[in-house]
Structure 1
């Protein structure tokens, strides 16, 4: 669960700006800074009638953003809006937005506060990670299949400011990879650029088999899931800012970014029970899954410097991400 800091952690100026932002919903009577995320800044605001809402703001230092990260709060608002009439998608409701950047120096999204508790860090009474429980994995598979029934007009990132969308999946995915390689060069991060480009070119036909751009969350790890405190079953999904229009297979990597093995059987069973079908075990499907493992690993490697990660954990994180990148490249023969 993200650490919750008290009102004293929020400056008077920010508190005053937040009060203006939420005024159409009610008077601000309390605000807490929610920490634990590595991109946006998030506050839990209490209104005069006791209602709690979540206010999310984008980073103001756009010079440190990766190419795909432009206007991500707008993407989150878009996805929540697409799910507004689909309660089975378990997402917050958009209460209001402010994209003028006149009250706060960034885009602002105000969303409903979800019931349940964060999955991250929870364990079962026997000490097993709650995220690994078959019931939760089944629920996650059902959620994925339902989300993937929403289709779009183009492939790639919805945030048009990034310029990473196209009419075909090979073109869009190529733009996405190319943007990350440009970010790596800009930040002086060594990555095997030639190998990555060669793998992408070699397997373009596998990408071309994806003809319908469906909505993919891409970040369904435990930190973005809420569960029932008693049963441990899935009750909510947040942080859709990195959503794309793309291949449903991409979702499996986002849910397990450091994974290299098969997806959990319970997750796949849940996906199938909701009417979904994934081309796992097919030559082209397996190739695409490796390409998405390559992409997510590349994101994790490249973002280290612009995010300014620090601490004892960074070396291990970098090594793990680089290991995933190398494993994917070696398998993409």
Structure 2
């Protein structure tokens, strides 16, 4: 009966960020930590638009302060990167369906490279206990890098440290371009252009289904179709976080002695061109000091970075307008996309 209750409860929420019932939360805790464990208290954490996150205090177990994160609901059908299929009713992108299950693999890469990462206690994508991928992690006492309590001097030093960790991440090599999977494989292609085209095509298909930004998706897809050789100059895939900004960096310590506690939310990570990492566009001099590697100054390098910004902006426009219901941000990304598309056309590449 408990399983039926979970299913029923889950389907009462159609949004991506869907809470679970107290009964389901207790069942998940007892399933992984044992029936003797007591849930002392729990609370839904704010801020996430995609995953649903709880902080839970436990008794009668060695680890008493934990995080539970749940991905959006499972669907039966997963489109293939190269098939041209599209799950029309599925609000998520194909890579988003497997990304939480791959997170433990990504954090193992981080730890091996000396990058502080969250500790994953359990990750379950079986759908047996609740029709969603979910994970338990240890809670990290910390604040986010954009917290108002962090002084300017500390912030500069933390950005230098973040640059150093980002460089270490970009030295983690993959056997192909694309998305890490739970079994350690990579879903993608040996050709960087094909992975970029897959993102552009899937975004374009989803936008076309709802009549959003008509014709723009086709123009952006053509950028990657017509300039394959530009992108395929990149031969070595490396791990990029793909969502690296201040809110996904946890810091701790006293003023004057602060350090990065963990780089979090690595579930959107990809094996890609290192310059696909959007934080490399930052004007933070201290970040670049820590990163210690110049961006490709050639016309080809500049063109690739412009194309990456264009694709990212288009993807974010769709996501904010139609996936997470943030129309004001969606409008900003929509305008940015059109400006970047014009900038690309002005390059006059043949």
SS at match of 1:157: strand
The Cα of 1:146 is off from its aligned counterpart by 0.7
Spell out, residue by residue over 1:96-135, the C-alpha distance to the aligned partner (whole angstroms, 9 max, x if none).
Answer: 121211112211112222242122442545xx798xx422
TM-score by length of 2: 0.78
Q: 1:121, 1:129 within 8 Å by CA — same for their partners in 2?
A: no
Give the direction of change, closer, same or farther, for the CA distance of 1:117–1:160 in structure 2 (3 Å limit). Answer: closer
Q: 1:155, 1:172 within 8 Å by CA — same for their partners in 2?
A: yes
Give the direction of change, closer, same or farther, for the CA distance of 1:267–1:308 in structure 2 (3 Å limit). Answer: closer
Partner of residue 70 from structure 2, selected from 47, 57, 60: 57
> How many residues are paired up?
305
The aligned counterpart of 1:206 is: 230
Is 1:119 aligned with 2:145?
yes
TM-score by length of 1: 0.82
Q: 1:10, 1:32 within 8 Å by CA — same for their partners in 2?
A: no
The Cα of 1:15 is off from its aligned counterpart by 2.4
Is 1:186 aligned with 2:209?
yes
The aligned counterpart of 1:248 is: 274
Give the direction of change, closer, same or farther, for the CA distance of 1:35–1:14 in structure 2 (3 Å limit). Answer: farther
The aligned counterpart of 1:5 is: none
The aligned counterpart of 1:4 is: none
Q: In structure 2, list runs of 5 or more residues that go unmatched.
A: 1-18, 76-89
Partner of residue 321 from structure 1, selected from 322, 330, 333: 333
Is 1:105 aligned with 2:131?
yes
Q: Which consecutive aligned stretches of 4+ in structure 1 deviate over 6 angstroms post-superposition?
A: none
CA–CA distance in 1 between the matches of 2:217 and 2:248?
A: 31
The aligned counterpart of 1:270 is: 290
RMSD of equivalent CA atoms: 2.8
CA–CA distance in 2 between the matches of 1:329 and 1:241?
A: 28
The aligned counterpart of 1:33 is: 44
The Cα of 1:151 is off from its aligned counterpart by 1.2
Q: 1:15, 1:31 within 8 Å by CA — same for their partners in 2?
A: no
Greater C-alpha radius of gyration? 2
Q: 1:95, 1:110 within 8 Å by CA — same for their partners in 2?
A: yes
The aligned counterpart of 2:99 is: 72
